Amino acid sequence: MLLKSVSVFQGMTEHTCEAARALAVEESHEQGTFLFQTGDPAGWLYVLVHGRIRLKMGNTGHVALILSDAGDVVGWSSMAGYAEYTASAECLDSVTVLKFDRTRLAALLDKDPVSGMSFYRGLTAIIGRRLVASYGATVSVHGERHPQYWG
CA angle (83, 87, 88) in 5-degree steps: 110
Burial class (CB in 10 A: 0-12, 13-18, 19+), 136: exposed
Phi, psi of 54 (to 5 degrees): -105, 125
Task: Flag whether 147 is in a domain.
Answer: no
Q: What is the pLDDT along the chain (151 residues), one digit of tens a residue?
A: 678 889 999 999 999 999 999 999 999 999 999 999 999 999 999 999 999 999 988 766 667 789 999 999 999 999 999 999 989 999 999 999 999 999 999 999 999 999 999 999 999 998 888 777 665 555 455 455 555 554 5
For residue 11, the domain's CATH number is: 2.60.120.10
CB 129 within 8 A of CB 7: no
Give a yes or no: residue 41 inside a domain. Answer: yes
Q: Tell me if 107 is assigned to some domain.
A: yes
Query: 122-130, long-range: CB within 8 Å, 24+ apart, which pairs?
Result: 122/7, 122/8, 122/9, 122/10, 122/11, 123/8, 123/73, 123/76, 123/79, 123/80, 125/7, 126/7, 126/8, 126/73, 126/76, 127/76, 127/80, 130/64, 130/65
Any domain includes 146: no
29 assigned to some structural domain: yes
The pLDDT, as a whole number, for residue 71 is: 94
Domain assignment present for residue 144? The answer is no
For residue 139, the model assigns a pLDDT of: 47
- The count of structural domains within the chain is 1
Neighbouring CB atoms inside 10 A of 77's CB total 23
* pLDDT for residue 135: 55
Q: Which pTM was predicted?
A: 0.85
Domain assignment of residue 54, given as a range: 3-138
Q: Could you tell me if residue 52 is inside a domain?
A: yes
CA distance 76 to 94: 21
Q: Does residue 64 lie within any of the structural domains?
A: yes
